[in-house]
């Protein structure tokens, strides 16, 4: 740790992994200055409210649903796409709330998820080697060298797209769209006609009946705010530290710093070095933060990370997002659960069953098997049951669209169908049917 007092700039003294090579440093710094003058996207009070909600998760009284795109796209940006993504997340939330009977904390990978860590600085596109695509906040995914040059004007573009996404999300979640009386409306056509869609309809009918029952008992449903809206939070990988620094502001109420680019920020497997810039940055902001945890992480590393990111042991401050792979979770997770429990750290444990289960299909497309995703979730729940810890949540990559990116599920997408509707700019996502199917299965795991 650096001996100086924490500031939003202190990370600059430390090695920062995964930062783009901007062609002109001055252009980059000018872009950051402009960002620093723009209004915050979220407010400190909202971030504190999320910490409290996650504190309930840490205490075993609620469940975290964190979901959205692998990478948001400048190209696929429309009101319909945002609405459809929200529909699926609301559907999953209601399946989990009704099916497992626990409150669900809803967090999107949305309104800021524009930067991607890469394992290699270049990638092979067909026959040509190009600089890697690093997310639309940095460069373009088109297959030519010019498109791959980092462009600092993209930072402001990402900010503005985040602002309009967030504006729509707030309108949808607070303005009637998320009202429980609309539980049927979230079921999209292509979902409704499927097995998992029918199961959802049945549950929605039961919710209707329960609401009518309560009304008949004399409860004033109209006056019951919580039935008509949801708290929905935003999150992303805090990868491009200049962007995060520029949106970090001191809260006038408490004098604490908050990164106002999103309610929750996390660091990934490639940027979680204990003495690195990313962990230092997260250590000083007061938002709830997360860290991805792979099967290769040692108990010493996890404990050091807990100390570094949550020395005050604030429940809800730190979420550990395990992404171990279906084959590794049963061996790798239990020692970490025991160590963190023994040390008395009140973390949220969430399962990311996506990133440890990615492989390249014979046709050359990155994909994941629905069954592997389920298997990692089962391993996660089993390990927590054995340890006496709370399986606090799931972290998923999904879309509201009818894509063919992950294999299997009820619709049974096969390898030779992947090309049909494969639109992700990065990792393969669950489609709406697979996501709802998964929610029912997680609800079952939570019940038992």
Which residues here bind ligand TRP, judged by CB under 6 A? 90, 93-94, 97, 103-104, 178, 180, 226-227, 230
d(CA 340, CA 331): 16
Residue 427 binds what, of Mn ion, ligand TRP, none (CB under 5 to 8 Å, by partner type)?
Mn ion
SS3 265: strand
d(CA 296, CA 161): 36
Closest CA to 326 of 361, 353, 363: 353
d(CA 237, CA 219): 43
SS3 56: helix
Residue 97 binds what, of Mn ion, ligand TRP, none (CB under 5 to 8 Å, by partner type)?
ligand TRP
Q: How far is the CB of 424 from Mn ion (least distance, A)?
A: 9
Q: How far is the CB of 66 from Mn ion (least distance, A)?
A: 13
Q: Does 280 bind Mn ion (CB under 5 A)?
A: no
Residue 227 binds what, of ligand TRP, Mn ion, none (CB under 5 to 8 Å, by partner type)?
ligand TRP
Q: Within 13 Å of residue 362, how many CA atoms lie on the same side as its CB?
A: 4
Nearer to Mn ion, 10 or 136 (CB): 136
Nearer to Mn ion, 85 or 317 (CB): 85
Structure tokens at 168: 């729509």
Residue 255 zone, left/alpha/beta (φ > 0; ψ -120 to 50; rest): left
Q: How far is the CB of 225 from ligand TRP (least distance, A)?
A: 8
d(CA 134, CA 175): 35
Nearer to ligand TRP, 12 or 182 (CB): 182
Q: 374 and 354 in contact (C-beta within 8 Å)?
A: no
Q: How far is the CB of 230 from ligand TRP (least distance, A)?
A: 4
Q: Does 237 bind Mn ion (CB under 5 A)?
A: no
Dihedral sign computed on CA atoms, order 113, 119, 123, 124: negative
**DSSP codes of every residue in 337-389:** HHHHHHHT--PEEEE--STTSEEE-TTS-EEEBHHHHHHHHHHHHHHHHHHT-
Q: Which region among 99-107, 137-145, 211-219, 420-428 touches Mn ion (by CB under 5 A)?
A: 420-428
Which of 244, 401, 427, 437 lies at the binding interface for Mn ion (CB under 5 A)?
427
Q: How far is the CB of 279 from Mn ion (least distance, A)?
A: 20
Nearer to Mn ion, 75 or 210 (CB): 75
Q: How far is the CB of 104 from ligand TRP (least distance, A)?
A: 6
Q: How far is the CB of 117 from Mn ion (least distance, A)?
A: 9
Nearer to Mn ion, 32 or 265 (CB): 265
Residue 107 binds what, of Mn ion, ligand TRP, none (CB under 5 to 8 Å, by partner type)?
none
Binding mask 31-50 for Mn ion (x = CB under 5 A): --------------------
| Start-end of H helices in 61-194 | 79-100, 153-174, 189-192
Nearest 5°: CA angle at 127, between 124 and 132? 20
d(CA 309, CA 24): 33
Structure tokens at 240: 């491009």
Closest CA to 87 of 414, 399, 426, 446: 399
Q: Does 70 bind Mn ion (CB under 5 A)?
A: yes
Structure tokens at 54: 């996650």
Residue 178 binds what, of ligand TRP, Mn ion, none (CB under 5 to 8 Å, by partner type)?
ligand TRP
Nearer to ligand TRP, 89 or 375 (CB): 89
Q: Does 406 bind Mn ion (CB under 5 A)?
A: no
Q: How far is the CB of 58 from ligand TRP (least distance, A)?
A: 18
Nearer to ligand TRP, 187 or 261 (CB): 187
Residue 180 binds what, of ligand TRP, Mn ion, none (CB under 5 to 8 Å, by partner type)?
ligand TRP
Q: How far is the CB of 90 from ligand TRP (least distance, A)?
A: 5
| Start-end of H helices in 247-358 | 277-284, 299-309, 329-343
Residue 436 binds what, of Mn ion, ligand TRP, none (CB under 5 to 8 Å, by partner type)?
none
- Residue 273 parent element (H or E): none
Nearer to ligand TRP, 182 or 366 (CB): 182
Q: 168 and 79 in contact (C-beta within 8 Å)?
A: yes
Nearer to ligand TRP, 50 or 320 (CB): 50
Nearer to ligand TRP, 89 or 262 (CB): 89
Q: 435 and 382 in contact (C-beta within 8 Å)?
A: no
What is the contact surface with Mn ion in residues (CB under 5 A)?
70, 427
């Amino acid at each position: 740790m650096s001996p100086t007092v924490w500031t939003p700039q202190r990370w600059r003294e430390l090695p920062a992994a995964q930062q783009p090579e901007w062609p002109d440093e001055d252009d980059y710094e000018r872009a950051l200055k402009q960002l620093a003058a723009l209004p915050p996207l979220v407010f400190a009070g909202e971030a504190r409210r999320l910490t409290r909600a996650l504190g309930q998760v840490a205490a075993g009284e609620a469940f975290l649903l964190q979901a959205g795109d692998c990478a948001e796209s400048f190209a696929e940006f429309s009101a319909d796409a945002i609405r459809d993504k929200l529909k699926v997340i609301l559907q999953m939330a209601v399946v989990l709330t009704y099916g497992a009977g626990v409150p669900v904390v809803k967090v999107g990978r949305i309104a800021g998820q524009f930067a991607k860590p890469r394992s290699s600085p270049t990638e092979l596109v067909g026959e040509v080697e190009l600089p890697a695509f690093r997310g639309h906040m940095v460069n373009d995914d088109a297959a030519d060298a010019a498109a791959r040059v980092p462009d600092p004007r993209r930072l402001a573009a990402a900010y503005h797209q985040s602002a309009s996404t967030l504006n729509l999300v707030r309108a949808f979640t607070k303005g009637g769209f998320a009202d429980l009386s609309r539980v049927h409306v979230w079921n999209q056509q292509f979902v409704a006609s499927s097995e998992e869609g029918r199961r959802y309809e049945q549950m929605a009918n039961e919710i209707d009946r329960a609401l009518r029952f309560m009304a008949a008992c004399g409860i004033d449903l109209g006056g019951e705010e919580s039935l008509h809206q949801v708290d929905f939070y935003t999150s992303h990988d805090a990868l491009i530290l200049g962007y995060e620094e520029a949106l970090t502001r001191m809260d006038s109420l408490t004098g604490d710093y908050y990164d106002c680019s999103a309610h929750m920020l996390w660091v990934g497997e490639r940027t979680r070095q204990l003495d690195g810039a990313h962990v230092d940055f997260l250590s000083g902001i007061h938002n709830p933060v997360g860290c991805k945890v792979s099967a290769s992480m040692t108990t010493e590393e996890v404990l050091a990370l807990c100390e570094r990111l949550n020395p005050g042991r604030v429940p809800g401050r730190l979420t550990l997002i395990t992404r171990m792979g279906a084959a590794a979770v049963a061996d790798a997770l239990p020692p970490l659960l025991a160590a963190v429990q023994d040390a008395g750290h009140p973390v949220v444990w969430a399962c990311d069953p996506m990133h440890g289960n990615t492989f390249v299909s014979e046709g050359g497309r990155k994909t994941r098997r629905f069954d592997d995703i389920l298997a990692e979730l089962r391993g996660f729940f089993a390990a927590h049951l054995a340890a006496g810890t709370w399986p606090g949540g799931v972290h998923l990559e999904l879309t509201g669209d009818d894509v063919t990116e992950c294999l299997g599920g009820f619709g049974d997408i096969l390898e030779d169908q992947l090309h049909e509707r494969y639109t992700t700019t990065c990792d393969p996502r669950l489609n709406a049917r697979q996501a709802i199917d998964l929610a029912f299965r997680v609800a079952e795991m939570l019940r038992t």
